[in-house]
Amino acid sequence: MKFALCILVILGCASGQFGPVGIKHILRAHNDLRSDIAMGIYDGYGAFKKPKPPATNMRKMGPRSSQVWEEEGNVKGSEIYKTGETCSACSAGSTCDTATGLKHQNKGRSTGVF
C-alpha cells in the first residue's frame, strides 16, 4: 500500500497539482515509510524474506527536501542508507526521534528537513 502511494506521489509531484493539504499527507506517508525502514521493520509487504536492516541516520522529509538534497543526487549502485543501530549516526545540529527513528534538523538551518 505504501509503495503504491509513493508511486502515486512521484507521478503526482511531476504534474505539480498538489495543494498544501495534499503535500502534508504525502509527506506523512513518505515519512511513515522512511520510519519503517529506519526502525528495521520494513519488509516490503512480504517481498523480502526478512525486514531490511535499520538505518543509522534516516532523515525526516520536509516540504523542500528535494531541493536541499538535489546536489547529493542518487548514484546507481550506491547504498540508499547506512545500515546499523537506529539513530546511532545522527550528526551535530540534528536530533533523532527515537519513536520514529528519523533525524530532525534542529532549528536555525533552512533545509526543508524537519
At 105 the three-state DSSP class reads strand
Half-sphere exposure of 75 (CA within 13 A, CB side): 6
What H or E segment, with its residue span, contains residue 30? Answer: helix 20-38
Q: Which residues of 41-69 are buried (b: 16+ CB within 10 A; e: fewer)?
A: ebeeeeeeeeebebbbbbbbbbeebeebe
pLDDT tens column, 43-100: 887 888 888 888 888 888 877 666 555 566 666 677 777 888 888 887 777 888 888 8
